[in-house]
Chains A and B, each alone.
Chain A
Amino acid sequence: GAGVSQSPRYKVAKRGQDVALRCDPISGHVSLFWYQQALGQGPEFLTYFQNEAQLDKSGLPSDRFFAERPEGSVSTLKIQRTQQEDSAVYLCASNLWAGNTEAFFGQGTRLTVV
């Protein structure tokens, strides 16, 4: 597709359940970012990949959060043992190259933990 694609669009998880969120970046984009956006707030940085290498994971809120991009294209954000405070929209963005500031965002996955 022409843009960043995220799936699922909506996810309801019971507290304690594991979830996996998928991001398909724009083809050929080197950089991939995950952000978390709480209701009524701006997005907050979670982690960054350059190709398959995870260069920065300083924004991951706990060790229950794990991200991977094994072949340098599709990325998965996994949250283990979900808690209510994990409820948010998870946004994926990609850039053409590492130093480029123009990020293209997906529509996001809205996660609700009940």
Chain B
Amino acid sequence: TQLLEQSPQFLSIQEGENLTVYCNSSSVFSSLQWYRQEPGEGPVLLVTVVTGGEVKKLKRLTFQFGDARKDSSLHITAAQPGDTGLYLCAGSHSGSARQLTFGSGTQLTVLP
């Protein structure tokens, strides 16, 4: 059972289009991370957000953490085929373990 719901589950777009992926939960997280995973590889960290309302930009990617720290979004501007992959959000709670609770993932395909 995934406590973090991601939408959409699948997204196929043309190169140059913009897109937004959503990550929602009923739980409050002390921090939230976004990962990208390619086939046959482990997830690779893109960003960590820790403050409610925080916005971080990484080149064409914009990440936002909700004010209540229960939800987050990832916006990609002018998508490129190299952006193709499985995007995962993951939350962690304060405490020493910092284990991650992952969302169900959004499979993005950017067509040339």
Contacts and interface: CB of A to CB of B under 8 A. Distances in A.
Interface of A: 4, 31, 33, 35, 40-45, 48, 50, 55-56, 91, 93, 95, 98-108
Given A4-B42, A41-B104, A45-B100, 5 more contacts: A31-B98, A45-B99, A95-B98, A103-B98, A104-B45
Nearest to B9: A40
A66 to B, nearest CB: 18
Contacts, number: 67
Interface in B43-57: 43-45, 48
A103 B100 contact: yes
Interface residues of B, number: 26
B102 A107 contact: no
A31 B107 CA distance: 29
B64 interface: no
Contacts of B24: none
Given A43-B43, A102-B48, A33 B102 contact: no
